[in-house]
Amino acid sequence: LESFLGLARIAGEWLRNRYVHLMSRYPEVYRMIGEYLEEFPSTHFNTIGVIGLPEAAAIMMGDPDLWFEGSRSDFLEAARWMRSVVDHIASTARSWMKETGTPWNVEEVPGESAAAKLAMKDAKRYPELLRYLPDPENPIYSSSIAPYYGELSLPQRVEVEAMVQRSFTGGVMMHIFLGEEADPEALAKLTWRLVQTDLIYWSYTPALTVCRDCGKSSVGLHTTCPGCGSRNVDVWSRIVGYYRPLRNWNPSRRKEFSRRFHYRGWDDPWES
């Protein structure tokens, strides 16, 4: 881990210095940055992005089925390990800040391309890694704390995420993927429960189905149009913060979406 953090530091500092150099050399190109962000770059962070945490936890615990068949105690053990890793990265980044004055933070990044590229590279070098990935035919790392392919109950997912989120010093997000339209009262009750946990950020992400024949839009994950019955439908969901049709996603992410666990039913999961 230390060697990779060292590489991240070198890359981050090089890119930062390169950008500052370009601003000074081509001020007409970067004029607006200088006008609107007078204190740049001192107000902007170098970021260490973390992906693949749940897969790393499964490897360290020697349990390929951790996120499929694990118990609550298994999930909590994994969360403690993930928290220790993020704590160490954040501590290292703080030491760099004290040393140079350059601000650093640690984020849970989307890794929309990197998650697949790095997993494929690692799988070629370490074929045994494939046992710890949900789809050996489509190697991809998670960009979350609790993996979205894991069929954790919502209380279990919240518990794991809440244990680790606060260790990040930059952006972090737990998406709650919904496979059907939410009941407003149940959603309000769920929101009240979540604000009483240690979660920092979460989102509700219902799937949307749009019929390309009749044009009907429906909330929920449907293979056929609820209006006309056509199978010529587009499913929309969130990627890098924005809703886009799956057909426009990169191939690795489209396959990954099919393994995402979508929550359905609106009985209070904390009372079941």
- The terminus-to-terminus CA distance of the chain in angstroms comes to 40
pLDDT of residue 227: 93
Coil, strand or helix: which one is 262?
coil
30 pLDDT more than 90: no
101 pLDDT more than 90: yes
Provide the residue ranges of all domains of the chain, joining segments of one domain with +: 45-257
CATH of domain 45-257: 3.20.70.20
Beta-carbon neighbour count of residue 121 at 10 Å? 11
What are the phi and psi torsion angles at 127 (to 5°)?
Answer: -55, -25
Q: Look up residue 50 and give its amino acid.
A: V
The rounded distance, in Å, linking the Cα atoms of 188 and 27 is 50
Which class for 170: exposed (0-12), middle (13-18), buried (19 or more C-beta within 10 A)? middle
Beta bridge partners of residue 218, listed in sequence order: 209
244 pLDDT more than 80: yes
pLDDT of residue 51: 96
Q: Where do runs of H (alpha helix) occur along 62-130?
A: 66-69, 72-100, 114-125
**Residue 19 CB partners (closer than 8 Å, separation 6+):** 41
Q: Give the Å distances, CA to CA, from 257 to 81, 175, 182, 252.
A: 26, 13, 20, 9
Q: How many residues does the chain have?
A: 272
Comparing 12-21, 208-217, 259-268, the range with the smallest average pLDDT is 259-268
Whole-prediction pTM: 0.91
pLDDT of residue 266: 63
How confident is the model over 175-187, as pLDDT tens digits? 999 999 988 999 9
Comparing 19-23, 38-42, 136-140, 192-196, the range with the smallest average pLDDT is 38-42
The long-range contacts involving 29-37, CB below 8 angstroms and separated by at least 24 positions, are none
Could you tell me if 86 and 167 are in contact, meaning their C-beta atoms sit under 8 angstroms apart?
yes
The rounded distance, in Å, linking the Cα atoms of 65 and 149 is 12
**How does strand 202-206 pair with strand 46-49?**
unpaired
265 pLDDT more than 80: no
Mean pLDDT of the 229-237 span: 96
Coil, strand or helix: which one is 5?
helix
**Residue 272 CB partners (closer than 8 Å, separation 6+):** none
Mean pLDDT of the 122-136 span: 95
Of residues 238, 231, 228, 171, the one with CA closest to residue 208: 238
Could you tell me if 40 and 16 are in contact, meaning their C-beta atoms sit under 8 angstroms apart?
no
pLDDT of residue 271: 67
Comparing 37-46, 109-118, 157-166, 227-236, the range with the smallest average pLDDT is 37-46
Mean pLDDT of the 83-99 span: 97
**How does strand 208-211 pair with strand 46-49?**
unpaired
Beta strands in the chain (DSSP E): 46-49, 104-107, 174-178, 202-206, 208-211, 217-219, 233-239, 242-245
